[in-house]
Chain A
Amino acid sequence: MADSLLSYITLAMILFSIGFLGVISRKNIFIIYMSIELMLNAINIIFVALGRYNESTGPQVIAMIVIAIAAAEAAVFLSLIVVLYRKKKSLNTDLFTSLKQKDFSNE
């Protein structure tokens, strides 16, 4: 049983790392979004696997909640992407820089 738990967690770690690499290396905002979802689901796998391992239902409930919230979040995220696309006519995240520190003036 312990071996199989380790393999589940290894799988989750691999998925999480793939997702994280996607977030930091890709420019397309859709890819970033999908990578975030991947990371979420990697965590979900850990929850479910640990729940099974400890034979308790709590982690499963949390996993269900995460899935539900991810669904709701998907709606928000997709609408945000639509708005951003309308502003810049592009999906490249490097163009979304309105929160950047402006050029400072040396006194």
Chain B
Amino acid sequence: MSNSLLAWIVLIPLLSSVTLGLMYLYSIKISKIPNYIFSIFALSAPFLSFAIGILFFLKMIGNDDIFVYEAYKWLSVDGYNMYMGFMADRLSIFMVLFVTFVGGFIHIYASGYMKDDEGYGKFFFYFNLFLASMLLLVLGYSPIIMFMGWEGVGLCSYFLISYYYEDSENVKAGNKAFIANRVGDLGFIVAMITMFYYAGADGLDFAHLEIGLASVPTNVLTFIGCALFVGAIGKSAQIPLYVWLPDAMAGPTPVSALIHAATMVTAGLYMVARFHFLYDLIPNVGLFIAYIGAASALFAAVIATKQTDIKKILAYSTMSQLGYMFIAVGLGGYSVGIFHVFTHAFFKALLFMGAGAIIVTLHHEQNIFKMGGMKNRTPLIYITMLVATLAIAGIPPFAGFFSKDEILLTAYNSGEYFIWGVGVFTAILTSYYMFRLLFVVFHGTNYEKNRELHPLSKSITIPLVVLAIGSILSGFIGVPELLGGHNMIGVWLLNFGEHSIHVGHSAQWYLMGINVFAAVVGILIAYKKFFKYDMRIEPEQSGLIWNKFYIDELYDRVIVQKFKKLSLFISYRIDVKVLDMIVMQLSKNFIKSGYVIARLQNANTRFYAFFMLVGISVMSTYLLIVMR
């Protein structure tokens, strides 16, 4: 097995995507291709990539090998070469494995969810392109290659969010995601340029950067770290660039599952973990990241408690969970953060897919207060959603418990008791809003019992079951030593920020107890308020929280409107009045002078002949006098 297989992890989804795109064009222009042919190409890609990922994973067990494959020289400027390089180390192969695995099951789900859609082939073209970009981001061996994947992910998210493009609201949501991400990308580019300037003399790949950055002054490192984090904020939807994430719900539900669980939002986190050697040198920036993460976690959780759209609740919960992850990576617990990414991928994908299944069953109803009583009518969805909800709330032994416990332990261990407190409080809110959703949707008294249900196909239910099993089991790769486990993920990612726990065993037991207690408190509050909720009572739809703290309105007032005014000024004043005037006057004068010159053509042969004589005379005089 050669290292060139690494490139195939990215190439397989990319080729599949190109094939699907061409087939889709053929299908709409020439003759229709049945959906199952699209499905074969679309669904095989993530699983093939997963298989290759497994091969590398097996080779890495027991040693610290890093596989690097430089496919070809991409740029050569004045002796400075950049290669199209792929790198698989323990972190990236771990990401590859769960991105392709969870992504694969989201693909299967999507094949059921989208089966009646006109643009089935187009959808999977975007989907696989999205997956390929994400894998390129993960496997890139230099920030440049990573940035290509980074941009690809942003582009595909735009395509997918505005997939139902007939509705202008969806297109606006896509634009919002794209523009918010652009702001973040600026940070990434600035960081990359600074790194190139200060530490890129030997090459811009991570191995060289790690050596190069060690000798860069701290204030420059701080700048690079902050600029990179701006990129991470944009991609991973933290304060203040999170606004695109709730609106990203405009896309089809599988897209939400893919964006929120396996790809896209984890990119920012992966990037911070990838640059762990940089952030290790600047713990102050790390602390800043942790504070941003804590603020985002709390903020999003508070908003989620009042939302009524099932997908919006889940969107804010994603943002909140990402906040947890940033707390961990900010405080140096990179493996902890990645562990939460991993478990979160399972239960969040499951939550979205369950929500999508309910939405399909109820003929595209998204308001949870119009659902109700689904427990007995869709038992499979109920059970899987219950598993996912328990997992995200942090009830042992479900996946979320272990990773969230690790994060809060990391916070406590670092002495950041404020962040720890925020984390615990957010945990209460998390279990509260998740169980509020669960109780209202599944236990609420329903007065529309006769509403017929849309049947669900196997391709929708099977991924639900698989991911439910994943949500139960995925936590066990990180069982802490306290509970007799080996913390396999921590060992696996040992090179990415070792952090020693120096909190005593009894304190760890207390912390764990507090976490479980917080989750149970949240559940109890939700139980008291929403169990057997009477659906005829309309929930209160006003107030600061329901309006999401008016942040969208604030951004609109402060930034969007100003820019709108500026662009209106440019388009109506500068463009029309100044630039167009100059251009039009110039062309008018040209036309006028054209008419003047045209008068010379007066059909008078003798006049022409005279001018010939003049010309010849001038030329011969020139020849005689000057050239002699």
Contacts and interface: CB of A to CB of B under 8 A. Distances in A.
Interface of A: 20, 23-27, 32, 93-94, 96-101, 104, 106-107
Given A24-B606, A97-B602, A97-B603, 10 more contacts: A20-B613, A24-B609, A27-B606, A32-B606, A93-B605, A93-B606, A99-B601, A100-B603, A101-B599, A107-B591
A33 B588 CA distance: 43
A87 to B, nearest CB: 14
Interface in B571-591: 588, 591
Contact of B606 (A25, A99, A104): A25
B197 interface: no
A100 B601 contact: yes
Nearest to A20: B613
Interface in B596-620: 598-599, 601-607, 609-610, 613
Nearest to B592: A106
B233 to A, nearest CB: 56
A35 to B, nearest CB: 10
Nearest to A104: B595
Contacts of B603: 96-100
Contacts of A93: 604-606
Nearest to A35: B609
A98 B265 CA distance: 76
A101 B601 contact: yes
A102 to B, nearest CB: 9
Contacts of B607: 24
B602 A23 contact: no
Interface string B400-415: 0000000000000000
Nearest to B606: A24
A94 to B, nearest CB: 7
Interface residues of B, number: 15
A32 B606 CA distance: 9
B602 A101 contact: yes
16 contacts: A20-B613, A24-B607, A24-B609, A24-B610, A24-B613, A26-B606, A96-B603, A96-B605, A97-B602, A98-B603, A100-B601, A100-B602, A101-B601, A101-B602, A104-B595, A107-B591
Nearest to A97: B603
Query: Which of A20, A24, A32, A106: most chain B CB closer than 10 A?
Result: A24
A99 to B, nearest CB: 5
B580 to A, nearest CB: 17
B605 to A, nearest CB: 6
Contacts of A26: 606
For the complex of A and B, the 6 pairs showing the least CB-CB separation, nearest first, are: A100-B603, A97-B603, A101-B598, A101-B601, A104-B595, A24-B606
A96 B599 CA distance: 16
Contacts of A94: 604
Nearest to A96: B603
A99 B598 CA distance: 12
Contacts of B610: 24
A6 B180 CA distance: 88
A98 to B, nearest CB: 7
Nearest to A26: B606
A23 B601 contact: no
A32 B610 CA distance: 13
Nearest to B608: A24
Contact of A104 (B598, B604, B605, B609): B598
Contacts of A100: 601-603
Contacts of A24: 606-607, 609-610, 613
A107 B588 CA distance: 9
A30 to B, nearest CB: 14
Contact of A20 (B591, B601, B604, B609): B609
Contacts of B604: 93-94, 97
B608 to A, nearest CB: 9
Contacts of B606: 23-27, 32, 93
A20 B614 CA distance: 12
B603 to A, nearest CB: 4
Contacts of B613: 20, 24
A98 B605 CA distance: 12
Nearest to B591: A107
Contacts of A96: 603, 605
Nearest to B598: A101
A22 B419 CA distance: 106
Nearest to B610: A24
Contacts of A104: 595, 598
A27 B340 CA distance: 101
A93 B598 CA distance: 20
B163 to A, nearest CB: 49
Interface string B417-433: 00000000000000000
A98 B610 CA distance: 20
Given A97-B603, A98-B603, A100-B603, A23 B598 contact: no
A43 to B, nearest CB: 14
A49 to B, nearest CB: 20
B616 to A, nearest CB: 10
Contacts of A97: 602-604
Interface string B35-68: 0000000000000000000000000000000000
A84 B570 CA distance: 62
A38 B613 CA distance: 16
